[in-house]
Structure 1
């Protein structure tokens, strides 16, 4: 490809060819990989003339709109509008209507040339001018509409508050909470997987010992027809919920429906239920084999009772509010179940028969018509899940928690997802999201999640992004945004690349996205935590901080230039501090190098030399941690000062947790596994079937650990430390 054409395409697509890697060293995207990224974005890299035509077509698509599709502006700044016209029309007076969010409309006239000339471009022998004019009124934060008076062209005008929500109580006290994988909760009453009732009990217990939140793994909708696809970070839809977390025994009619009682009291059912409860790893297929038939029975009971009443009214309102998105999820789940029962190879819409790959096809519409009750069933399950989640959040608030639930928004969806099936234009299926080589993944990472096209997101006026934020801030006091760098850029790995390192960064409109994030955060009153780990470019943490996004500081990564550990007293105030995460070993696993042994068993290291280097680095890290803990006097004076041959015991484990609790950060998040002194990890990045990721349950049931005086004392100590830190 001609070098100047390639450079023009690279700039148009927002592809970064030079970057600094996780070690601060310059990285370069090769010409081959640049071309692969252009091909993934739909350009014909084998024919320069064809590529030029494609570029011109996309440029004209933008410039031929008199009003840009969407404009995001800060409420504190002077507000303006842009007009884009061919030079010949620059003196034409235009009649415009500004419709504010509350429905107030104001009409006014403008002549483009009377404004400030911002930009001039020459396309296809036509000169286009872009003019900026002040808005005739100052708009409050919200979603407004600007349009030509004749309705022929319109713009979504989004005015944002500039900063995300922060509770007033943050100025009075420092908060702490516990992160848990909801599926991992054991209890004497659940059906082999943690559920929303277990969550309510956990919230009640933690509130009593002074915690202000519980952080959840993503609880996005997965695949009822394919329950073993269990990664919460590869969901089907991020707008809806994972129905496996429904407490079936809390569904309406459970105790009143004789048919349901006959099902659950059958000896074979009770035997299978006992078996699921006793397993150390969640058997997702086994759990759904128990839950789905009972859910169907209870839905049938509901349909038999639904002539009226509050429940039926609430369900109707839920469906109305859920709109097309809810119906698409229900349709997908019903169709997926139907096809997978015929052939298990139908793992998702990309391999379905052709007539079912388009949700607007005649075959899909016919299926929806013939299986109306089945679609209604899946809508009902989403309704129940939402009610039970809301109930858990209400428990947290009633018990005095400031934030309650702290939810997690995954960075993408799997290729088989409802999201892509329903909105295929938005996603690039010729590439996937990942990460360049970094300490967590020395060979780079490919997460198998198709990225959104930045321009398509803009063309859809950011509506998919807005809906994602609203759905995940619902019934939550805080939202963690996984891989928050995605607001700025994503590492795209083309399917034609030889490995995950053969990708490049593609940029997104970060100021627009941050503005929308701030607006939704304020409206939903949800604190925003951005997982700002990995390869972080200069200035991005400062920008996120300016918008009120809380940083995510992991103790193991907070090291100084000399290799020592930064004191938590020097962490930023606007941050959430944590010792470890779901992608890292537990404290015991770290100290005993269980992760390195597992990695060796699973073949994650290129050779023995690399493994030995990791062991040596781990030993140095352990000694530095021990030095830091003694320096801060959180260990007894007589406790060993040498990490050599020192095993992790309760004294050391709990000291690390108390050490972080005394830190500066507004928020502290601890892992429940560390309080239970567990060694096995939740997830091992870079593996799929090699390790039972997202399945390992907690070592003790809720009824046991919640009565443990040692754990209670630890949490009480943490609360006291947080109070001192606030002082």
Structure 2
């Protein structure tokens, strides 16, 4: 009985028993792993009787609710609802009263028994029947409330989401234009005026210069909120909250009040200016010092604004209060968390995340947290103010893109999860399986598999919360941008869960309600006029790529992975039109690093290739691939005789580097993204997957400042060539 019940739960909760790995090999998930995953979801698999009672209780609760919590319907589909009722009530007449997002009411009467009977159960000798009923109604796109009523009394309600068939696409792209843009890690940018880390003013400068060269977008790393009290925790892919911004990108000099004498006295003090000069000159971002400098200056500016404007009935205060109101409990959560973490750190108490907070502070809803909030009201206001300033400066950068008529403008990046000690989990623990981590089975980017330290959302809890956390994520990350890149887009279909303490190879896939999530994605995409790019690398089941394409999500095609079985590289002219093409990514070596095998050298030093035979095979494979690349470049006349044809005698050169970029520009992909690191012929990667403290990930700056980059004649010529090539292939 228990074995069959476990098998039922494995299927019911979307745990995959078999999958095909990155090399096309069928792989089976062990029974032990499947039971561990069920345990992570809260099932008492080690107690047969308790498990039976638990499953029965869940089933009963589901049947006792006449309607499910949420339903996603595409605009072309008929509206059907499933209604569960005791048998003696199924032939009564009911009303479905729909209140649209615009406040209009639509009423449909129906008798459940006239619909299609789909299921029957008995609960304590009462027979319940489920009918699927079609409602003859036409609804606009949006989020609507459906109330099930009888004689004017409400029995149940559900959120009804009417979504378009596919994601938004700008008119320029619909007209056949193929465009290019630059992708950057914002923190890597150097400039004459920033404080040792790229900021939103740098971004606005980059947008303006790139647009004038013909670029149609600037792609960003995730700019999610991190941890002001833990500045060295700097991975943009392990944030504290994906709804809010990293304050470190604020240009302090552009905040109103910077010119005040008190602020000027602070920033012009010898100790301050000395530290500022040091963080500007280093080749790696010094997060700790920069955070200290920016917080110190911003605190002083906040005092200026708070005294003069934010404590009175002023235009500025009204705007700030509106921002706080719109931010709701989510903004309150991140601000309280930042203040609380800072307070614990200042006292020398464990503070890296809520798992080490004192028990009375380990949850946002605890009484002690409410007490802390009252006592530290001004500090919490400061952290909300930081979010306000960051949001305004991001919007200003986006306005520069609009002023330059960029067809896309900014494109943001949504991380696949938040870290274990994040504010996002602290504020909604029920949603997350905190004893698991998202990761990946072994693949080309991570031959040992990967565990990212990001607890996954429980798909059932997400459904019970009416998908609101996902709606909020899509909406907030599409704000002030023309495109959203979803990191590890397979998460919409399935995620690799690894139980805490286990090796990455001992995980398993858990499925998510992909059709519902894609519907919500399409709706928010249209509302925000933001196209969507899905990072579909690694172990990708064929069905997800087809489904993404049908839903208007752009595929992500990396040149080095577009390889035929015979070892040759596909011509970019054969890439899907609905795709973004790129040469490298933040998880890969630069062009120079790839060609010189510096990633393999570094991987050996870091212990990523403990088997010498595996490493030797990788060197041989790289040698063959480089020859195949030369063959395809010469075959398509993307390089001239300056670049040789024999890999044994061809090193990385500017001619080869630029030739590869132009080769990709001539392809079929509607979008082309190129990295500034490759424009600058840099050799060091920004991130090495599978490492943490072994390599200084997320710190390496660009080798030139922005002003130098855009005064470089060779780089300007490259950009203009890219624009010409893209226009030519658009014809």
Measured against the shorter chain, the TM-score band is over 0.9
Secondary structure at 1:613 match in 2:
helix
Match of 1:209 among 201, 210, 213: 213
- The answer to whether structure 1 residue 421 and structure 2 residue 455 are counterparts is no
Please report the TM-score for the alignment, with normalisation by the length of structure 2. 0.98
5+ residue gaps in structure 2?
none
Q: How does 1:190-229 map to 2 (within 5 A)?
A: 190-229=194-233
Judged with a 3 Å threshold, the aligned counterparts in structure 2 of structure 1 residues 494 and 166 are, in CA distance, closer, same or farther, namely same
CA distance in 2 between partners of 1:621 and 1:179 (Å): 25
Q: How does 1:125-274 map to 2 (within 5 A)?
A: 126-149=126-149, 150-170=153-173, 171-255=175-259, 257-274=260-277
CA distance in 2 between partners of 1:719 and 1:213 (Å): 12
* Kept in 2: contact 1:436–1:445 (CA 8 A): yes
- Counterpart in the other structure of 1:120: 120
- Counterpart in the other structure of 2:440: 435
- Counterpart in the other structure of 1:519: 523
CA distance in 2 between partners of 1:586 and 1:126 (Å): 66
Structure 1 range deviating more: 87-96 or 110-119:
87-96
* Kept in 1: contact 2:643–2:656 (CA 8 A): no
Secondary structure at 2:210 match in 1:
helix
Secondary structure at 2:244 match in 1:
strand
Match of 1:387 among 384, 392, 396: 392
CA distance in 2 between partners of 1:343 and 1:363 (Å): 19
- The answer to whether structure 1 residue 293 and structure 2 residue 280 are counterparts is no
CA distance in 2 between partners of 1:429 and 1:172 (Å): 46
State the 1:602 CA deviation: 0.7
State the 1:122 CA deviation: 4.7
State the 1:610 CA deviation: 1.2
Structure 1 range deviating more: 154-163 or 125-134:
125-134
- Counterpart in the other structure of 2:706: 702
Deviation string 1:242-299 (CA, Å, 9 cap, x unpaired) is 00000000001111x1110000010111111000000100010110111101100011
Judged with a 3 Å threshold, the aligned counterparts in structure 2 of structure 1 residues 554 and 123 are, in CA distance, closer, same or farther, namely farther
Structure 1 range deviating more: 138-147 or 475-484:
138-147
State the 1:125 CA deviation: 5.1
State the 1:152 CA deviation: 4.1
CA distance in 1 between partners of 2:642 and 2:145 (Å): 69
- Counterpart in the other structure of 2:660: 656
- Counterpart in the other structure of 1:109: 109
- Counterpart in the other structure of 1:546: 550
* Kept in 2: contact 1:554–1:578 (CA 8 A): yes
Deviation string 1:417-436 (CA, Å, 9 cap, x unpaired) is 11100000000011110111
Q: CA RMSD in A?
A: 1.2
Judged with a 3 Å threshold, the aligned counterparts in structure 2 of structure 1 residues 122 and 7 are, in CA distance, closer, same or farther, namely farther
State the 1:345 CA deviation: 2.9
- Counterpart in the other structure of 2:18: 18
Deviation string 1:283-326 (CA, Å, 9 cap, x unpaired) is 10110111101100011100111124332221111111111111
* Kept in 2: contact 1:493–1:503 (CA 8 A): yes
* Kept in 1: contact 2:344–2:350 (CA 8 A): no
Corresponding residue pairs, total = 725
- The answer to whether structure 1 residue 614 and structure 2 residue 622 are counterparts is no
State the 1:358 CA deviation: 1.7
Judged with a 3 Å threshold, the aligned counterparts in structure 2 of structure 1 residues 108 and 76 are, in CA distance, closer, same or farther, namely closer
Match of 2:465 among 460, 466, 469: 460
Please report the TM-score for the alignment, with normalisation by the length of structure 1. 0.98
State the 1:93 CA deviation: 2.9
State the 1:126 CA deviation: 4.5
Deviation string 1:574-611 (CA, Å, 9 cap, x unpaired) is 00000000000000000001100111111111221111
* Kept in 2: contact 1:143–1:157 (CA 8 A): yes
Deviation string 1:140-178 (CA, Å, 9 cap, x unpaired) is 111111113323421000011111001111124111001
Judged with a 3 Å threshold, the aligned counterparts in structure 2 of structure 1 residues 316 and 651 are, in CA distance, closer, same or farther, namely same
Deviation string 1:3-48 (CA, Å, 9 cap, x unpaired) is 2122111112110011111111111001111111111111112111
- The answer to whether structure 1 residue 355 and structure 2 residue 374 are counterparts is no
Match of 1:632 among 621, 630, 636: 636
CA distance in 2 between partners of 1:262 and 1:454 (Å): 53
